[in-house]
Amino acid sequence: MTINRPGIQPVLATTFRAGAHEVRLWMLEGRWYVAVDGIQLTVWHKTQADAWTAGVTEADRLDRPAG
């Protein structure tokens, strides 16, 4: 996780695999965040389900052949 907030610890909700990728979800101050292969996506989500969907969508995008 790349959260850098002194004194505030994120709650790691889950880590799972989507294709060849590791997807992590966590909550911080009521917002859900997602990282794929250790790289945090740029948006936060209101629900864990929305964060999960974003992680799976990004993993799928990364698995698609270029072109």
- 3 is a domain residue: no
- 58 is a domain residue: yes
Contacts of 18 (CB under 8 A, 6+ apart): 36, 55, 56, 59, 60
- 1 is a domain residue: no
Please compute Rg for the chain using Cα positions.
12
Q: How many C-beta atoms lie closer than 10 Å to residue 10's C-beta?
A: 15
- 4 is a domain residue: no
Q: For 15-60, write each residue's pLDDT tens digit.
A: 999 989 999 999 998 999 999 999 999 999 999 999 999 999 999 9
- 34 is a domain residue: yes
- 28 is a domain residue: yes
Q: What span, in angstroms and rounded, lies between the C-alpha atoms of 17 and 63?
A: 13
CB 56 within 8 Å of CB 18: yes
Q: How many domains does one find in the chain?
A: 1
| Residue 45, domain extent | 11-63
| Pure H helices in the chain | 48-63
- 50 is a domain residue: yes
- 19 is a domain residue: yes
The per-residue pLDDT for 1 is: 46
